[in-house]
Structure 1
Amino acid sequence: MDRDAHLQALSRDGFTIVENAIEPALIDELNAALAGLETLLDAKPAMNGFEGHNTVRIYNLLAYGEPFTRVPVHASVLPLIEGVLDEGCLISSLSSIAIDPGEIAQPIHADDMVIPLDKPHRAIVCNSMWALTDFTAENGATRLVPGSHRKGNPDYGGQYESIAAEMPKGSVLVWDGALWHGGGANQTDNRRMGVAMNYCAGFIRQQENQQLGLSPDLVRGFEPRLQELVGYGVYRGLIGHIDKQSPVQKLNGGGAFKSIWDS
């Protein structure tokens, strides 16, 4: 992966596509695990204009352990996220998005629209879509408005000229959270399957509440970087501490912590 080239594309266009990013064995494991969860949870479309009437979504995937714990820290994706945000970034949400035949296009939006900051501003959200099947213009590939991350927010649901983020199975689309985009319409007879791995800056509230959504016992089994990503670290030696201890120290018991004021 040419990290610098992808980061240049993210800065210029607001998005990039990393082809052959995910190893086939992991794709198979994710597809199998999601199929099992859909049956177990009896997951159904949300039946609203944003989440869709023919789209099945499963949220808080880290709560189900393997193989989802390998997604946020994947070496093909996390270095790009850290390049857009910084190494203090957090997991905002991890969910699956299965667009079934007959789904219409999702309204064009920006993922950071709900955060009340004037635009343009530095990146505070950076998201990714893992292609667990081929993504085509016909089956619902994400629609993008290149360069729109440098503009204000779109009118929600407005009509904008966009392109389809077509990519083969195993690819990952990464975009600045300010980029205007939306899921495409599925005009085929087959499901378009993806995993949305979303991140935010360490000073922004996460979309999914990771501390309540994941049991401490589960998090204790995570690798250290994943513990930090779900929010058990401290941003820049200050934000998120507990009595001058990091949450991961509280989780695991003891350890040294150096605050920003001790530097």
Structure 2
Amino acid sequence: MKISLTSEDVQKFRNDGVLLVPNILEPSIIAKILARIPSMLKGEYATGIKPAEIKIDPTNTQQISGKLWESEPEIKAVVLDPELGRACAILGDWEQYGSKAVHSSLWRKPPGAPETTIHQDAAYVDTFIPNKLITALIALENMTIEAGSTQYILGSHKWGLGRRVRSLRESEDYTAEAKTAAREAGVGNFEIFTTNVESGTIVFHDGLLWHGAGRNNSQQQRVALSCAIMPANIKTVSVDDPYVFGEASEYPFTWQGKLI
């Protein structure tokens, strides 16, 4: 993996809260991960270690989450790639500390799966300080608008940290809680930007950015791998939370950075 970022890329990310970088993950690596998915959906993991969160509903977005790097070597090679950690550190302005992986998820959206509620990732890691987070969403197949690709409210990372949504999958209006957050931030109307990217693209987004996904109206599945990266100087405020899987010191470095 090789990720090159220009000063313009960094500025765009900080303005919009999201940046698309195409042609990063090689097709051979993608093929190896995709080949593992049928076994993972059956609860069979390469190392025998079961991830913390598993939601397999054939009619809805399917999710296998936690420390996936402990369960699947092919995923570990991607999530813990130093290039990924370095890129997140540059975008997040924490190069002096290095980066750690705190979470990873495999997402599969089958045909007909409904929308994913627009939410903030940072709301689910608020037991870490500092609460700085960048999510790298890697398209393992083409993510088209018709197939329910990811959607972002550009600039919404400037609204501040909001509340966790009631449900990512069971919402009558998947934009309702984002609308509430916008009102509380003094924002009027907003536009939703829907990505349309090819396999191998990495979409970086700020943990404070409100985002979700559309309904899969195609006949094709949509598969992606997300990697949650934080600065290596994080500390755990509390482990009494279902989305925290241990002390900050237990999470692996993805990039050593310029440690101080």
Q: Same fold (TM over 0.5)?
A: yes
**In structure 2, distance between residues paired with 1:18 and 1:123:** 24
1:45–1:53 CA contact under 8 A, matched in 2 = no
Asked if 1:61 corresponds to 2:74, the answer is no
| SS in structure 2 of the partner of residue 91 of structure 1 | strand
Count of aligned positions: 215
Question: Residue in 2 aligned with 1:195?
Answer: 225
Amino acid in structure 1 at the alignment position of 2:106? S
TM-fit CA distance, 1:111: 1.0
Question: Residue in 2 aligned with 1:96?
Answer: 106
Which stretches in structure 1 are left out of the alignment for 5+ residues?
A: 215-225, 238-263
Amino acid in structure 2 at the alignment position of 1:196? S
Question: Residue in 1 aligned with 2:182?
Answer: none
TM-fit CA distance, 1:152: 2.9
TM-fit CA distance, 1:153: 4.4
**In structure 1, distance between residues paired with 2:228 and 2:244:** 10
Pair 1:140–1:208, CA change in 2 (3 A): farther
Pair 1:190–1:70, CA change in 2 (3 A): same
**In structure 2, distance between residues paired with 1:2 and 1:45:** 35
Asked if 1:8 corresponds to 2:11, the answer is yes
TM-fit CA distance, 1:114: 4.5
Amino acid in structure 1 at the alignment position of 2:64? I
TM-fit CA distance, 1:39: 2.6
TM-fit CA distance, 1:101: 1.2
| SS in structure 2 of the partner of residue 7 of structure 1 | helix
Q: Which moved more, 1:104-113 or 1:9-18?
A: 104-113
Q: Which moved more, 1:66-75 or 1:88-97?
A: 66-75
TM-fit CA distance, 1:34: 2.2
| SS in structure 1 of the partner of residue 34 of structure 2 | helix
Tell me the alpha carbon deviations over residues 157-205 of structure 1, each in whole angstroms, 9 at most, x when there is no partner: 4356311121101101001100010122111111100001111233154
**In structure 1, distance between residues paired with 2:37 and 2:122:** 27
How much identity, in percent, do the aligned residues show?
20
**In structure 2, distance between residues paired with 1:188 and 1:32:** 22
Pair 1:169–1:210, CA change in 2 (3 A): farther
Which stretches in structure 2 are left out of the alignment for 5+ residues?
A: 46-52, 166-175, 180-189
Question: Residue in 1 aligned with 2:84?
Answer: 77
Question: Residue in 2 aligned with 1:24?
Answer: 27
| SS in structure 2 of the partner of residue 36 of structure 1 | helix
2:147–2:221 CA contact under 8 A, matched in 1 = yes
**In structure 2, distance between residues paired with 1:106 and 1:153:** 19
2:125–2:131 CA contact under 8 A, matched in 1 = no
Pair 1:204–1:164, CA change in 2 (3 A): farther
Amino acid in structure 2 at the alignment position of 1:107? T
Question: Residue in 1 aligned with 2:137?
Answer: 129
2:101–2:252 CA contact under 8 A, matched in 1 = no
**1:1-263 superposed matches below 5 A:** 1-41=4-44, 45=55, 54-59=60-65, 60-74=67-81, 77-83=84-90, 84=92, 85-86=94-95, 87-114=97-124, 124-153=132-161, 156=165, 157-158=176-177, 159=179, 161-202=191-232, 203-205=234-236, 207-209=243-245, 227-229=252-254
**In structure 1, distance between residues paired with 2:26 and 2:155:** 30
Larger of the two Rg values belongs to structure: 1
1:130–1:171 CA contact under 8 A, matched in 2 = yes
| SS in structure 2 of the partner of residue 170 of structure 1 | coil
**In structure 2, distance between residues paired with 1:39 and 1:115:** 28
**In structure 1, distance between residues paired with 2:149 and 2:207:** 17
TM-fit CA distance, 1:208: 4.9
Report the aligned-residue RMSD: 3.4
2:85–2:99 CA contact under 8 A, matched in 1 = no
Higher relative contact order (CA 8 A, sep 6+): 2
Greater share of residues in strand: 2
